[in-house]
Amino acid sequence: MYVVMTEMNENLRYEAKVFVESLISKIKLIRVEKGVTSDELAISIGYQTEEYVKIEEGSKSLTLSDFFKVCDALNVDPRDILKSITGVS
């Protein structure tokens, strides 16, 4: 039983990691498509540029609150980003 649970936990962690990486990649793609620099986006959400760059690099976690701030700053509906990476409509 423990082995099965451990394997499930590892699978969930992997899936969560892939989801977050996809989410950050999509945000970066939208940012670049809109011609917004990482510095401009960082300032608009109240971060130092270095802090925001760490999010895009994956070395700093993207909180749910920050996700919504980023979506607002990029003028994009958070649901559209989530739909695009999950395939759920």
pLDDT attached to residue 10:
83
pLDDT attached to residue 13:
84
pTM over 0.85: no
pLDDT attached to residue 19:
92
Q: Which CATH number is 2-86's, of 3.40.50.1820, 1.10.260.40, 2.60.40.10, 1.10.3720.10?
A: 1.10.260.40
For the chain, which residues make up each domain, given as ranges? 2-86
Cβ-based neighbours of 66, under 8 Å, separated by 6 or more: 45, 47, 55
Q: What pLDDT digit, counting tens, does each position of 1-50 carry?
A: 555 556 668 888 888 889 999 999 999 999 999 999 999 999 999 999 99
Contact assessment for residue 80 and residue 33, using Cβ atoms and an 8 Å cutoff: no
